[in-house]
Amino acid sequence: MPSNNTLPDIQTEADIKVLVDSFYDRVNADPLLGPVFNEVAQVNWAAHLPRMYDFWSGLLLHTNRYQGQPFAKHIPLPIGSGHFQQWLHLFCRTVDSLFAGPVANEARLRAGSIAHVFESRMRIVNTPLSTR
């Protein structure tokens, strides 16, 4: 693997596609996350991946194609802290293996924020009203 100083930064839609496809290849192979995506959520990858291209393109390249509320789809899933930690670990490993630079750094920061917010919100959603 090349050292980080020889890796390109995330700059184009093609870079976003490589990042997303590589990341979800790791997710699908992961023993913790793969079953959640494929058996529980039964993700339609042909529809999901283009939405993720739009999502990450919006965050990192400032396009405005993504429309949606990503958190809502996570509410019914049996996921917790360990799932979000693993998601973030895989995402950061994917970024680090492919890209280096300010936008790659931004990608890791954004992913960290997403994981933290989703994990916190899931904890609230899964807490019985009587104990809130």
> Would you say 30 and 36 are in contact if contact means Cβ atoms under 8 Å apart?
no
Distance between CA atoms of residues 65 and 56, nearest Å? 10
Check the annotation: does 48 bind a ligand: yes
Q: By C-alpha distance, which of 85, 84, 77 is closest to 38?
A: 77
How many helices (H) and strands (E) would you count in the chain?
5, 0
Domain boundaries, the chain: 13-61+70-125
Topology classification of domain 13-61+70-125: Globin-like (1.10.490)
* Tens of pLDDT, residue by residue, the chain (132 residues): 445 569 999 999 999 999 999 999 999 999 999 999 999 999 999 999 999 999 999 999 999 999 988 888 888 888 999 999 999 999 999 999 999 999 999 999 999 999 999 999 888 776 655 554
The single-letter DSSP state of residue 76 is T
